[in-house]
Chain A
Amino acid sequence: MSENFEPNVVAFLCNWCSYAGADLAGTSRIEYPSNLNVIRVMCSGRVNPMFVVNALQQGADGVLVSGCHPGDCHYMEGNFLARRRVALMRELLNFVGVDERRFNMSWVSASEGAKWRDVVKGVVDNLHEVGAFTEFPRKKIDW
């Protein structure tokens, strides 16, 4: 892996907890790596696990899905539904040889700005070790 490899991470954050937690990290000026870009969804339950496969295809080296802590979901159970789906997709990806550190999930609440930093740092640090995703990216990415 080249020395200056910087992983590209796509993150799906629920509007109510994790996105707000990331906002709080901002208002608290908590610094973290700039490798992760956020897509806002209303609930982690909206995240189709195929988004993850798609993100890997479209140039991401890693993916993060982040929702409310168990019991805190704004929509009561979306994060629980997401957890099951993510658990299975992680196993499947791992089975075909995609390093499981490429697919992460976290619970970050609206008050956990510092945790958000730790999550981002952890994911990015891991991906530095894992390296670029070369298994099945698309050759050309159009949007």
Chain B
Amino acid sequence: MSSKPKIGVYICHCGINIAKTVDVEELTKYAVKLPNVRVASDYSYMCSEPGQLMIREDIRKNGLNRVVVASCSPRMHELTFRKALVEAGLNPYYLEIANIREHCSWVHKDKQEATAKAKKLLQAAVAKVRFLEPLQEKEVDVGAAALVIGGGIAGIQASLDIANAGFKIYLVEKTPSIGGRMSQLDKTFPTLDCSACILTPKMVDAASHPNITLLTYSQVESITGYVGNFQVKVRKKARYVDFNKCTGCGLCAEECLLADRVKSEFNMGIGNRSAIYLPFPQAVPAKYSIDPHSCLFLTRGKCGKAPKCVEACPAGAVDFEQKDEIVEFKTGTVIVATGFDVFDAARKPEYGYSDYDNVLTGLEMERLISSSGPTGGKLVLGKGDGEYVPKEIAFIKCVGSRDKSTGNEYCSRVCCMYTAKLAHLVKDKLPEANVRIYYMDVRAFGKGFEEFYDRVRREGVRYIRGNPSEIFKRNGKLVIMVEDTLTGKPLEDEVDMVVLGVGLEPRRDAREVIDLLRLSQSSDRFFLEAHPKLAPVDTAIEGVYLAGCAQGPKDIPDTVAQAKGAASSALVLLSSGKVKVQAQISWVNEPNCRGCGYCVEICPYTAIELVLVNLMGHQVNVARVNGVLCKGCGACVAGCLSGSVQQKSFMDSQILPQIAALGGKL
């Protein structure tokens, strides 16, 4: 293929988009005179079928072996024209695009200037295209399994979809049970389905699915490899309860010396549990585990005469000798569904969350109002004799969202509706209660949301536009200081209870996941998708996908939809069993490599390693690129002192002529 370049140049008018400011006729005349150019033509729309046909016919007729298209940005139609080359039997990488629309005709007004610039850009493309080399798009096999990190609704849904398609799933969950945040919710907006009722069947499905290996109370320790071939190491933390023997009867928890004395994470600290516990009654798997941070025997080495749980267990499942276990397996793809944390209301001290028991967060309210919650669904505050039923209840929205002072500029998308839902539930339980919601805006954007918002207002919930400045206690009542911004009047609102509509935040342990996979974060600190619009479930790392709130705040339907999207992206790889590898990657001219390892250190994808090769009987180090891992950034090339590392299609020998063509006079 190293025969002399025979270049065809094709100049697009793009209707009048280019032709209006660039003299395409003159450009075409100029192009013919450039070195190695055989034909130059212009056409109204090169990307159209007749335009492409022109290229294909010229390639066949004139034996062209290089093509330059002067048109819109290569980010627009590079692929289109590559396909045209392939159809004409030419390697698709024998193409160079001169961007004379976005970088020329659209940004300059003077026709002479624009035409002169277009000539230069075209000249540079011709200079480069002569030195382009044919590239092959390789494929690698994809292992027929997927790792799903996070067992919330996103992880469960993605796992079920992939498993139903016939592929193996490893579903890793950090806590003892799958279910995630959704399992903590009482009802879901706007349909008021019981959250547990719609979630629990899916949890059971996931646990019993023959294709799903559930690894609860486990954490991913390391992920190495690349798309199609990830090696995963998972730490199964010791439960101190034999998983196979435990029947989930709960006798151990009843007997535990700390029974009802350890704060329950599931109930957001409102209710208590034992040191040996099931996070919640419908937990899956229904296996008890011992909390090593509170268990007396594990923390102090002593628990009464002998641990009561051991005696109580009829199956003899309690095992204090149990150790963490490392499980290793291979997968072809990874789905990150690690969810969110709720905003820590203590970071808005003016709302008194840390000071007053009757200031709750939305999630705490969910547990308080849930019939499976610590009060059995009775909306009461205080304990024992101090127990009382609140009459005046206020909600405050946008706590920790849309708030630069907390560093969270984004809208959490669920608070408008969950406060409306909670307000409805309050009115349902306490029809006499006065409920008001302090808001900045009401964003009822989803299906059925606006209707629900209307319904809640009809039920007597008052919406007051204002962002409270302070909450303090006076005569045993909470006083909300706020300005009603619709009337402009300052208010002092005395209430019995405040519910803070706290927003969603990236998980505080997100760093662990970032380090595992080298994920990026967007400015809101959620994981960054590959493209905000066109690749919202993909990441910069091939074969790794995002699902649910790990990528950004979402409600349940959006989370499920994204999980299904991530599953479908993963399935594209899994079901084809192959993945195309970047062609424009780096490679090393080994005989010239001095083995200094600069490129190895520079590569952010660990795609380069030093290998020992035999050089006339001597063992010497040279760098070698793993073509699957290389993403084609070229940072190694610029760092190579000997010029031994080069990036295909962006080689020094291809860029230097471009520079000359741009620098030289016309």
Contacts and interface: CB of A to CB of B under 8 A. Distances in A.
Nearest to B540: A74
B662 A10 contact: yes
B635 A46 contact: yes
Nearest to A141: B664
Contact of B663 (A38, A59, A78, A82): A59
B107 interface: yes
Contacts of B520: 71, 76
B73 A26 contact: yes
Given A77-B604, A142-B660, A23 B633 contact: no
A54 B656 contact: yes
Interface in B92-136: 99, 101-104, 106-110, 113-114, 116-117, 120-121, 124, 127
Interface of A: 8, 10, 15, 19-20, 22-23, 25-27, 29-32, 34, 37-43, 45-49, 51, 54-55, 57-60, 71, 74-78, 81-82, 85, 117, 141-143
Interface stretch (B361-369, B449-457, B647-655): B647-655
B518 interface: yes
B109 A143 contact: no
Contacts of B106: 25-27, 29
A31 B635 contact: no
B75 A34 contact: no
Contacts of A77: 604, 635
Given A10-B659, A32-B107, A45 B102 contact: no
B584 A39 contact: no
B107 A43 contact: no
Nearest to B113: A34
The 7 A-B pairs of least Cβ separation, nearest first, read A26-B102, A59-B663, A46-B634, A45-B635, A58-B663, A75-B633, A143-B660
Nearest to B664: A141
Nearest to A35: B117
Contacts, number: 146
Pick the most buried of A37, A77, A142: most chain B CB atoms within 10 A of its CB.
Answer: A37
A59 B75 contact: no
B665 interface: yes
B665 A59 contact: yes
B5 to A, nearest CB: 13
Contact of A55 (B113, B114, B518, B663): B663
B631 interface: yes
Given A20-B75, A29-B107, A51-B655, A45 B638 contact: yes
A138 to B, nearest CB: 9
Interface in B610-663: 631-635, 637-639, 647, 650, 652, 655-663
Nearest to A140: B664
Given A22-B102, A37-B121, A143 B73 contact: no
Contacts of B661: 143
Contacts of A76: 518, 520, 540, 604
A74 to B, nearest CB: 6
B310 interface: no
A31 B108 contact: yes
B377 interface: no
Contacts of A71: 520
B631 A75 contact: yes
B517 to A, nearest CB: 12
Pick the most buried of A40, A41, A117: most chain B CB atoms within 10 A of its CB.
Answer: A40
Contact of B655 (A39, A43, A59, A74): A39
Contacts of B655: 39, 41, 51
Contacts of B663: 8, 10, 55, 57-60, 141
Given A39-B658, A40-B99, A141-B663, 6 more contacts: A23-B102, A34-B114, A43-B633, A45-B638, A57-B663, A117-B107
B553 to A, nearest CB: 21
Contacts of A39: 124, 655, 658-659, 662
Contacts of A57: 663
Nearest to A63: B659
Nearest to A74: B540
Interface in B426-443: none
Contacts of B107: 25-26, 29-32, 34, 117
B540 to A, nearest CB: 6
B124 A37 contact: yes
A42 B73 CA distance: 14
Contacts of A117: 107
Contacts of B113: 34
Contact of A37 (B605, B634, B650, B662): B662
A41 B99 CA distance: 14
A54 B633 CA distance: 21
Pick the most buried of B74, B103, B659, B664: most chain A CB atoms within 10 A of its CB.
Answer: B659
A19 B106 CA distance: 15
Contacts of B660: 58-59, 141-143
B101 to A, nearest CB: 6
Nearest to B76: A23
B604 A46 contact: no
A27 B108 CA distance: 12
A85 B103 CA distance: 27
A82 B665 CA distance: 29
A26 B631 CA distance: 28
Contact of A26 (B103, B110, B639): B103
Given A29-B107, A77-B604, A143-B664, A23 B659 contact: no
B652 A78 contact: no
A5 to B, nearest CB: 14
A75 B108 contact: no
B204 interface: no
A37 B117 contact: yes
Pick the most buried of A23, A142, A143: most chain B CB atoms within 10 A of its CB.
Answer: A143
Given A15-B75, A41-B650, A58-B664, A78 B635 contact: yes
B602 interface: yes
A4 to B, nearest CB: 13
8 contacts: A19-B73, A29-B106, A29-B107, A38-B103, A39-B655, A55-B662, A58-B664, A82-B638
Contacts of A74: 540, 633
B635 A43 contact: yes
A100 B25 CA distance: 39
Pick the most buried of B632, B638, B647, B655: most chain A CB atoms within 10 A of its CB.
Answer: B638
A19 B76 CA distance: 12
Contacts of B650: 41-42, 46
